[in-house]
Amino acid sequence: MEGNTFNSNDAYSVSLLEAALESVASAIFVFNEEGNLSFANQVARDLSLARHEEAGLMKVVDDVKLAALDGTFQELEFSLYGPPKRDFTIRTSAPFGNRDGGVIVTIEDLTTRNQLDIIRRDFVANVSHELRTPIGALGLLAETLAFEDDASVRHRLANRIQNEAFRVAKIIDDLLDLSKFESEGSKNEDEISIVDLALDVIENINPTAENASVKVTLEAGEGDFNIVGDPIQLRSALTNLIDNSIKYSEANSEVIVAASEEGDYVVISVTDHGIGIPQKDLDRIFERFYRVDQARSRQTGGTGLGLSIVRHAVSNHGGTIEVESREGIGSTFRIKLPRNRKGDEK
Ligand code: ADP
């Protein structure tokens, strides 16, 4: 790489180096050979303005500094138990390869990385568990089928195999949608009429609604319901919400899909008079694989991924989603989407 060489006598080079250290995300403390602080970057200064939970961390900095001045350089992990828990790696090194030049202590905050690791591990465990159940069932059903002579039982077993295979396919399809929506943001930018989209989704979902004896109605007054967005993602969001409202309603009830305008936003809501969601679960239903009632979700072909897909699709459009629900009374999911996000892209 071409560039000027660093010159320690040149004030410009020194302040450039200091500015570089200031911009580093880790805390950097430099102590002289007497153990007095000669430099701390911004992150280090913030940490040393110890509120009481960070005082523990500064005590470790002091301990490792003294050990380094005695010739023991180390790297250790340290956690503050909060809450929230925070994890750090603390390292000591010598500036010129010998301790006579003082000690450098760096602190790297590993909290976010560790949290992401936990989320990824949990996700892999959940996916494996979710797939294991239908695949186990497929194996058993096929084994039984192989030794069954009665044609009607064979027919029933074959049906169940088909259902389990459908379930595996649905989990995989939902996982693919989720990962696509997560990774691509909202790729397509089309002019979409939310009302036309809702009408189309309702028409497609009608056989499911009729099967469950649930009536789905669209209510939209006069207005401009156009937004710029990704039709595939918005269709998937609406389909999941309406599908849920049918799944979690009793026969002969009604689902209302309503569109309205709120300034620069288009609002679309889905209201059912179904089983509702307990207050304590409202915060968690958008998490992957979270279900209030495992058995009911499975029995209705749920994967526990629908609302995560909805949440991603909505946030990719710079929108918000809210839910209001009362057990035994019903639920309303309300999506608010900005009409036009041009100039507001990620
Ligand atoms: P699932 O595939 O299980 O329906 P979702 O992610 O779509 O997964 O929803 C998560 C959970 O939220 C569901 O299992 C259900 O317990 C609850 N839920 C979602 N929508 C509704 C609704 N309209 N009425 C009652 N409960 C709902």
User: Which residue segments constitute the domains of the chain, with CATH numbers given?
Assistant: 11-109 (3.30.450.20), 118-184 (1.10.287.130), 188-346 (3.30.565.10)
Q: Give Cα separations from 214 to 55, 192, 240 (angstroms).
A: 60, 27, 16
Q: What is the pLDDT of residue 110?
A: 93
Atom number of ligand 1 nearest to Cα 292: 16
pLDDT value of residue 295? 82
The average pLDDT across 232-251 equals 96
- pLDDT over 90 at 241, yes or no: yes
Q: Tell me, what's the pLDDT at 346?
A: 39
- Is 291 touching ligand 1 by the criterion CB < 6 Å? yes
Counting from 1 in the atom list of ligand 1, the atom nearest the Cα of 304 is 8
What are residue 86's DSSP bridge partners?
A: 80
Pick the residue whose CA is nearest to atom 23 on ligand 1. 245
% of the chain surpassing 90 pLDDT: 70
**Comparing 181 with 53, which gets the higher pLDDT?**
181
Residue percentage of the chain with pLDDT more than 70: 94
Q: Does residue 188 surpass a pLDDT of 80?
A: no
Dihedral Cα 13, 14, 15, 20, nearest 10 deg: 90
Best residue for ligand 1 mutational test, from 172, 239, 291 (most atoms within 8 Å of Cβ): 291
- Nearest ligand 1 atom, CA 333: 23
Q: In which residue are the tokens 């595939």 written? A: 232
Identity at 233, one-letter amino acid code: Q
Question: pLDDT value at position 224?
Answer: 83
pLDDT of 29 > 50? The answer is yes
Cβ 317 under 6 angstroms from ligand 1: no
Is 274 close to ligand 1, i.e. is its CB under 6 Å away?
A: yes
Q: How confident is the model at residue 8 (pLDDT cuts 50, 70, 90)?
A: low
Q: What would the mean pLDDT of 196-211 be, rounded to a whole number?
A: 96
Residue 97 above 80 pLDDT?
Answer: no
Distance (Å) from CA 119 to ligand 1 centroid: 21
State the Cα–Cα distance between residues 308 and 240, nearest whole angstrom. Answer: 10
C-alpha–C-alpha distance, residues 311 and 307, integer Å? 6
> Which among 239, 257, 272, 307 is the best mutation to test ligand 1's pocket, defined by most ligand atoms within 8 Å of the CB?
307
User: What's the confidence (pLDDT) of residue 174?
Assistant: 95
Structure tokens at 93: 């090194």
| pLDDT one-digit tens code per residue, 78-92 | 998 877 788 999 999
Count of C-beta atoms within a 10 Å radius of residue 266: 25
Task: Give the list of residues 6+ apart from residue 160 with CB closer than 8 angstroms, or none.
Answer: 137, 141
Residue 168, pLDDT above cutoff 80: yes
330 Cβ below 6 A of ligand 1:
no
Return the residue whose CA atom lies nearest to atom 12 of ligand 1.
285
Choose one of 208, 242, 248 to mutate for the ligand 1 pocket test, by most ligand atoms within 8 angstroms of C-beta. Answer: 248
Mean pLDDT, rounded, for 127-151 = 93
Q: Does the pLDDT value for residue 345 go beyond 50?
A: no
Q: Is the pLDDT of residue 267 over 50?
A: yes
Q: Which atom of ligand 1 is nearest to the CA of 290?
A: 10
Q: What integer pLDDT is reported at residue 99 of this predicted model?
A: 62
* CA contacts within 13 A on the Cβ side of 323: 23
Average pLDDT, the chain: 90
Cα 297 to ligand 1 centre (Å):
7
What does the pLDDT average to over 139-160? 94
User: Which of 121-125, 220-224, 311-315 is predicted least confidently?
Assistant: 220-224
Give the mean model confidence (pLDDT) for residues 282-294. Answer: 92
